[in-house]
Structure 1
Amino acid sequence: MAIRPGKRRVGALAGLMLAGLVPFAVPAQDETGAPAETVPAQAEEAPAPTPADLEAIEASISLSQSRIDALKAEIAEMEGDRTRQNAALIAAAQRVRLAEIEVADVEERLSGLIVSEMEVRGRLDGSRAEIANVLAALERITLNPPPALIVDPDDALGSARSAILITAIVPQLRARADAVTADLRILTDIKGKALEEEATLKANYAVLEEEQLRIATLIAARKQGIDRRSEELAAEEAEAVALAARASSLKELIEGLSSRAGAVGTPGAATRPVDPDLPQFSAEEIRTAFANSARAEPAVPFGAARGWLAMPANGVNVLDYGANDGFGGISHGISLVTRAEAQVVAPADGWVLYKGPYLNYGQIVILNTGQGYTALLAGLAEVSVDIGQFVQMGMPMGIMGSRTIGRSITTNAGAAQPTLYIELRQNNEPFDPTGWWANPTQSG
């Protein structure tokens, strides 16, 4: 997975996205699940990180060389231990998720501070003009002051008028001065809070950089221990790509992939019927099963995982299942607006049926989660898993791009944002994923 963390210009507060200006996109579908328009995929498939890729990542981040060396040593010590590598990948993905949430919160708070600063500066600009007028009046009085001790009868009226004017102006000027002083204090407080938030933002970006490097290095280490390019696996991947080229809809693609998986005896094939006598599991049993990082098949039957699935990415849900997709169809899944280059993880345990570009969906991943269930993720920019690979829930599978891939709908903000489309299917029929996702307290 080619990670591009990059250097963030956290000091440029004015460049932050203001809350509410969030565009979104969804794959257009007809009633069969086929995209309404076929366009070339707009993302290139990314191979596993190479030593050169890892060097490029190291050069682009701000971690010290000693920290990078310590991270490499930590991962090298796990060589060949798939269980520890799996656990480390999932833990790193969880730290990325938490850092992404914190970054979003900080940016929202900074946006609020920007708005507050603009309001205070607006008041100060208004006060500046008003106080200038008052001072100008005082200056005019000063240029022609009334006699201090003896008032000339001929100037009595002017002196009285000046005294009345001064009596009226001085309290007003004092009140405006007090208001300006208060606004200046507020402005100072805003700048202090902004500096604190900037420090928090930098700290979280440092976490993101380190964990992204850790994930890329772990993926490279795992793939060094597996001959993924054996003739058999290469042929399986080529056949999956050929099926995708022939399929005119997601339904047709999943049906072909599932049939082939069943024919070649793939473990947990999606064609296996749902067990009507599915055993009941306690929350503790499910939690214990998912904690086993040595597993090579789903921790629990998919039907028993309802309420435990991991949301694949942090983001804002902009389209629900069954809603109008904006292209004259009905959404068969949900759509999340994410951060640029947001991490995408496996929503459930499963085998990768397909990964790669498909029609106007960008990079997609289809997981066979067993017992007739499949999970589809679409709109990724890069994918880091391989066809036939078993992935555990919460394991990194790829990243989003910096924009929406495929056809898009935007709000009046006018610029497309990365959008992840998520679809769950049972016996190749989409179903409402509401209630299947874990609460934040469960996902740990």
Structure 2
Amino acid sequence: MEQAKEAQIKLQQQKQQTANQLKNLQQQKADAVKKASEDRKKAEQLNQEMLKASQTLQTTEKKSVLLAEQIEAFKKKIALLDQKLQEESKHFSKFLPVMERLSLYPTDTLLAAPQSSRSTLGLSVIKGISAQLEQKAQLIKKHKTELDELKNKLTEETKKLEALHKEQEQQRNQLAKATEEARAIQKRSASAAFKVSQDAAQAAAKASNINDAIRKITASRQAAENRLRAEALAAERLKNQAKAESARKEIKTITQSNDGPGLSSNSKGAPVAGRVVSLWGSSTDTGPAQGTTYAPQSMASVRAPCNGQIEFASPFRGYGQMVILNCGKNYRFVLAGMGALNVGVGQSISKGVAIGRMPVWSGGGNTGRPTLFVQLRHGERAINPSPFL
């Protein structure tokens, strides 16, 4: 009886322990679901903050560009006016010796001619010269005043531009902070997907060209998906539903990048403000252009042309900093030529968010000017991006 009683107590304890473990697991699951929901809300909030910060930065950049153009126009006007003043002063200086002689020896100068008619003529000439010189002097004075005003205006506008540049730097820092925080939250809530994304990006970094990079990303993701499907199937055979569910969840996070909205031509907009150097299909040294190339201002921000997930974010071959953005529905944008990036592999972003900026450039003309190359791909095929930019 005692043994049976002890066995019964032990059984009850085991049942209670199992119940407590189940309760703890349910609580952990509930906490995880709650935490994931909070992370999603926070990531969405940060994404909206990033979008707002990107729009503010874009507005500031446009002001900077316009102000820089005004400053260049002022500089040209100053140079032309300065040249005109030099020419006028040089012409005016020719008469100074004659005027100086008249002021020092008026009688000798006027009475040097014996004939009164010549003296009268000389007086008339001097009178005419005086009138011309007075006009010239007034014109020089007027141009000198204009030049001083332009120089003062140039100084004021230059100070405004410096203030705008400082404002841009602050806005870039705020944007970078929000972007890094959003990425950290996304990485925490989808660590397995981030690991797969990192592996795919590392494979792409070894590619010989953009085509090869896309193929390696696709192949790496497909291999990870196949591996997880095999794990889920094996877990189901062993009646391990928790492991099977976990594997299926990871598959969903890996494949969600291709489940994105794809592209829409309803909200077109260039990813960077700048002159178009070449359009899709235009003639180049290597054949028809496979994308659109822009010539932006120094340090111009580059924005995401679609909602999607970052599959690659790193220097690539001779392209500078390059981003591959998966828009979903098998569409990808490739943006290359940036000087710095704001985003990282595995990160989900909204259309219009600043993903990077162009290099610093201060040269004249177009020689050596940094450019942004934008290519759109559907699968492994490059297509015309114009309807979406």
Query: What amino acid does structure 2 have at the position aligned with 1:429?
Result: R
Write the distance in 2 (CA, Å) between the matches of 1:394 and 1:153: 85
Write the distance in 1 (CA, Å) between the matches of 2:209 and 2:112: 100
User: What does residue 251 of structure 1 align with?
Assistant: 211
1:105-151 Cα offsets, whole Å, 9 max, x none, are 11111111111111111111111111111222122233332389x97
2:179 is aligned with 1:219:
yes
| RMSD of aligned alpha carbons | 3.1
Write the distance in 2 (CA, Å) between the matches of 1:238 and 1:330: 33
Write the distance in 2 (CA, Å) between the matches of 1:169 and 1:216: 69
Query: What amino acid does structure 2 have at the position aligned with 1:329?
Result: G
2:86 is aligned with 1:86:
no
Contact 2:85 2:143 in 1 (8 A): yes
Query: What amino acid does structure 1 have at the position aligned with 2:86?
Result: D
User: What does residue 350 of structure 2 align with?
Assistant: 392
SS of the equivalent of 1:81 reads helix
Write the distance in 1 (CA, Å) between the matches of 2:296 and 2:355: 15
User: What does residue 315 of structure 1 align with?
Assistant: 274
Residues 220/254 of structure 1: CA separation in 2 closer, same or farther (3 Å cut): closer
* Number of equivalenced pairs: 322
SS of the equivalent of 1:418 reads coil
Higher helix share: 2
User: What does residue 204 of structure 1 align with?
Assistant: 164
User: What does residue 104 of structure 1 align with?
Assistant: 65
Write the distance in 2 (CA, Å) between the matches of 1:88 and 1:232: 24
SS of the equivalent of 2:166 reads helix
Contact 2:200 2:216 in 1 (8 A): no
User: What does residue 301 of structure 2 align with?
Assistant: 343
2:375 is aligned with 1:423:
yes
- After TM superposition, give the deviation of residue 99 of structure 1 in Å: 1.0
Write the distance in 1 (CA, Å) between the matches of 2:66 and 2:49: 26
Greater RCO (CA < 8 Å, at least 6 residues apart): 1
Residues 227/367 of structure 1: CA separation in 2 closer, same or farther (3 Å cut): closer
Using the size of structure 1 for normalisation, the TM-score is 0.65
Q: Which runs of 5+ in 1 are unaligned?
A: 1-77, 271-296, 405-409, 438-444
User: What does residue 136 of structure 2 align with?
Assistant: 176
Residues 430/342 of structure 1: CA separation in 2 closer, same or farther (3 Å cut): same
Write the distance in 1 (CA, Å) between the matches of 2:287 and 2:91: 58
Residues 315/154 of structure 1: CA separation in 2 closer, same or farther (3 Å cut): closer
Residues 212/232 of structure 1: CA separation in 2 closer, same or farther (3 Å cut): closer
Contact 1:381 1:400 in 2 (8 A): yes
* Correspondence list, 1:301-380, <5 A: 301-303=261-263, 305-325=264-284, 327-380=285-338
SS of the equivalent of 1:376 reads strand
Write the distance in 1 (CA, Å) between the matches of 2:338 and 2:288: 21
2:340 is aligned with 1:382:
yes
Residues 194/333 of structure 1: CA separation in 2 closer, same or farther (3 Å cut): same
Query: What amino acid does structure 1 have at the position aligned with 2:387?
Result: G
Please say which structure displays the higher CA radius of gyration.
Answer: 2
- After TM superposition, give the deviation of residue 155 of structure 1 in Å: 6.0
User: What does residue 96 of structure 2 align with?
Assistant: 135
Contact 1:375 1:425 in 2 (8 A): yes
Residues 102/151 of structure 1: CA separation in 2 closer, same or farther (3 Å cut): closer
SS of the equivalent of 2:114 reads helix
1:165-198 Cα offsets, whole Å, 9 max, x none, are 2122012112212221221232133124323422
Using the size of structure 2 for normalisation, the TM-score is 0.73
SS of the equivalent of 1:154 reads coil
